[in-house]
Amino acid sequence: MSDNRVIIFDTTLRDGEQSPGASMTRDEKLRIAKILEKMRVDVIEAGFAIASVGDFESVKAIADTIKGSTVCSLSRALDGDIDRAGEALKNANSGRIHTFIATSPIHMKYKLQMEPDQVVAQAVHAVKRARNLIDDVEFSLEDASRSEFDFMCRIIEACIDAGARTINIPDTVGYAVPDEFGRTVGRLIERIPNADKAVFSVHCHNDLGLAVANSLAAVSNGARQIECTVNGLGERAGNASLEEVVMAIRTRKDILGLETGIDSTQIVPSSRLVAGVTGFPVQPNKAIVGANAFAHESGIHQDGVLKHRETYEIMTAQDVGWNTNKMVLGKHSGRNAFRTRLEELGTIFETDTELNMAFARFKDLADKKHEIFDEDLQALVSDTKTSAYNECYGLSSLKVTSQTGETPFAEVVVVVEGQEQRAASTGSGPVDAAYKAIESIVKTEASLELYSVNAITSGTDSQGEVTVRLEKGGRIVNGLGADTDIVIASAKAYLHAANLLLSSIEKAHPQV
């Protein structure tokens, strides 16, 4: 690898999943991992294997399947975590164990309740144990940006001696500013005697909106790996966004003198997939992947772009995968064409029943919508898998009446464990009426934290994709539903969220 190559380490499936309500199934994670591989991400952090049985299975499925990217599992600096990560990665073509411990005075004193000497000993032990299982070991100093410089030098040197090949400097709480952070990374590389035996990496959180700037400052000072997520998903305000990091490195090669191995045309498709699967929509003005990122509203801009594109555009929409949107299937497409296109998009149907259910939905959609795009297919698959796996509540029928001057009214039939139940309600609008009727059946007693509708493609016949976030007793779930009728999409999303609330997923959080 050349000296100016920056390794892109994607942690959408691990840190991204730590966003409240963003939890993903094994199957969804596998779909995302496939598109990340296609995008030529160097390292995919597939999860935290010890967190739950589901996490272990997701990491294992990704390690078993993905051959073009290194697959990584997070583990605390604990024997049980490391062994579980090693087990999940057993069949990986190229696997990595990423182990970490906190190094800041505040974390060591209050969270770990350990002396600095004990922290160094535990970190070294963890790295050695991981190296006995796998060659590629990464060590992270949690809360590095609030850690003492001399202590960082000491623990990093010891961990490189113990066999760590990558040393990660996280700005765990999003506290750093670019100049200071870049200089710290540069000084670490300069001061630590065995620094040349490891790749230095950074992992920045976005609490001050500086995650991408801090990551770029670090690579300008010698770091050669950036940890990031699609759409900047992640704990609290998120992580450095992959698309922004990659396109900044590419667009400002003149200044940074660096490159990545990413196929940037997969950026928009992966952004859409992640948004669809997690229910975290992308804000329209989000750099690179927002709907307005390449839209020129003002007359002056439009005129300039028409005369000479570079007057107002620093990269093209095609570079990042916009406008690759083509009509892929229609009413007369057969099951084979449907299956093949979805396989190209990363979805493999494990059973004929699953394929048949999705194909039946496709035919229904094709009756209502003339042109079916990749985005429609992706939404359809998420919707089919959602209803296939969460069986307690299903939507049987919904009738709403909404008329100027009249109170909106909804009548709903929900299948509850195979039995139909009916309810009706009025509301301030048709969605409100439908939700009140559904709630009188499912009785989640949860609070509605977010309701959002996104048009999946353009045109008034577009499918609406609805996200509903429910909160109950501190637990947050995101329900998704798609349909050309947005009231039906809304009802599906509410029932999906209600089903998720019923499932009790016990999962350890790595940093708590």
Interacting residue ranges for ligand KIV, rule: CB under 6 A: 15, 100, 140, 142, 168, 170, 172, 203, 205, 510
Q: Which of 259, 261, 204 is nearest to 42 (CA)?
A: 261
Q: Which is nearer to Zn ion, 62 or 102 (CB)?
A: 102
Least separation in angstroms between CB 171 and Zn ion? 9
Taking CB under 5 A as the binding criterion, the range among 9-17, 44-52, 182-190, 274-282 that sits at the site for Zn ion is: 9-17
What is the per-residue burial (b if ≥16 Cβ within 10 Å, else e) of 51-79?
bbebbbbbbbbbbbbbeebbbbbbbbbbe
By the 10 Å C-beta count (0-12 exposed, 13-18 middle, 19+ buried), 459 is classed as exposed
Q: Which is nearer to ligand KIV, 212 or 446 (CB)?
A: 212
Q: Count the Cβ atoms, other than its own, within 10 Å of residue 128.
A: 16
Cα separation of 185 and 191, whole Å?
10
φ/ψ (deg, to 5) at 103? -125, 0
User: In terms of DSSP bridges, do strands 327-329 and 464-472 run parallel, antiparallel, or are they unpaired?
Assistant: unpaired
Least separation in angstroms between CB 218 and Zn ion? 15
- Indicate which of Zn ion, ligand KIV, none lies near residue 465 (CB less than 5 to 8 Å, by partner kind): none
* Two tokens, residue 85: 């990560």
Q: Which is nearer to ligand KIV, 48 or 393 (CB)?
A: 48
Q: Count the Cβ atoms, other than its own, within 10 Å of residue 445.
A: 10
Least separation in angstroms between CB 172 and ligand KIV? 3
Least separation in angstroms between CB 234 and ligand KIV? 8
Q: Which is nearer to ligand KIV, 205 or 224 (CB)?
A: 205
Cα separation of 63 and 408, whole Å?
51
- Indicate which of ligand KIV, Zn ion, none lies near residue 214 (CB less than 5 to 8 Å, by partner kind): none
Q: Which is nearer to ligand KIV, 104 or 444 (CB)?
A: 104
Least separation in angstroms between CB 273 and ligand KIV? 22
Q: Which of 440, 428, 429, 449 is nearest to 497 (CA)?
A: 449
Least separation in angstroms between CB 227 and ligand KIV? 7
User: In terms of DSSP bridges, do strands 166-171 and 199-204 run parallel, antiparallel, or are they unpaired?
Assistant: parallel
Sheet containing strand 447-455, edge to edge, reads 447-455, 464-472, 475-483
What is the per-residue burial (b if ≥16 Cβ within 10 Å, else e) of 151-185?
bbbbbbbbbbebbbbbbbbbbbbbbbebeebbebb
Q: Any bridge partners for residue 44, and if so which?
A: 10, 71
> Quick one: which H or E segment has residue 252?
none
Least separation in angstroms between CB 248 and ligand KIV? 21
Residue number of the CB closest to Zn ion reads 15
Least separation in angstroms between CB 435 and ligand KIV? 36
Helix, strand, coil in percent for the chain, rounding step 5: 45, 20, 35
Q: Which is nearer to ligand KIV, 29 or 203 (CB)?
A: 203
Following DSSP, what letter does each residue of 337-383 receive, concatenated?
HHHHHHHHTT---SSHHHHHHHHHHHHHHHHH-S-EEHHHHHHHHHH
- Indicate which of ligand KIV, Zn ion, none lies near residue 29 (CB less than 5 to 8 Å, by partner kind): none
Least separation in angstroms between CB 239 and ligand KIV? 8
Least separation in angstroms between CB 407 and Zn ion? 48
- Indicate which of ligand KIV, Zn ion, none lies near residue 100 (CB less than 5 to 8 Å, by partner kind): ligand KIV
Which member of 8, 12, 15, 59 binds Zn ion (CB under 5 A)?
15
209: left (phi over 0), alpha (psi -120 to 50) or beta: left
Q: Which is nearer to ligand KIV, 42 or 142 (CB)?
A: 142
Q: Which of 56, 32, 27 is nearest to 44 (CA)?
A: 32
**What are the helix (H) ranges across 98-148?**
105-106, 116-133
- Indicate which of ligand KIV, Zn ion, none lies near residue 140 (CB less than 5 to 8 Å, by partner kind): ligand KIV
Least separation in angstroms between CB 15 and ligand KIV? 5
Following DSSP, what letter does each residue of 30-59 receive, concatenated?
HHHHHHHHHTT-SEEEEE-GGG-HHHHHHH
Taking CB under 5 A as the binding criterion, the range among 15-23, 38-46, 96-104, 124-132 that sits at the site for Zn ion is: 15-23
Q: Which is nearer to ligand KIV, 170 or 479 (CB)?
A: 170
Binding of Zn ion at residue 28 (CB under 5 A)? Answer: no
User: In terms of DSSP bridges, do strands 70-76 and 95-102 run parallel, antiparallel, or are they unpaired?
Assistant: parallel
- Indicate which of ligand KIV, Zn ion, none lies near residue 496 (CB less than 5 to 8 Å, by partner kind): none
Q: Which is nearer to ligand KIV, 170 or 430 (CB)?
A: 170
Question: 213 Cβ partners below 8 Å, 6+ apart?
Answer: 178
Least separation in angstroms between CB 354 and Zn ion? 34
Contact string 38-77 vs Zn ion (x = CB under 5 A): ----------------------------------------
Q: Contacts with Zn ion in 84-143 (CB under 5 A)?
A: none
Q: Contacts with Zn ion in 398-437 (CB under 5 A)?
A: none
Q: Which is nearer to Zn ion, 34 or 107 (CB)?
A: 107
Q: Which is nearer to Zn ion, 219 or 410 (CB)?
A: 219
- Indicate which of ligand KIV, Zn ion, none lies near residue 510 (CB less than 5 to 8 Å, by partner kind): ligand KIV
Q: Which is nearer to Zn ion, 144 or 275 (CB)?
A: 144
Place of tokens 């490159």: 259
Contact residues: Zn ion, CB under 5 A: 15
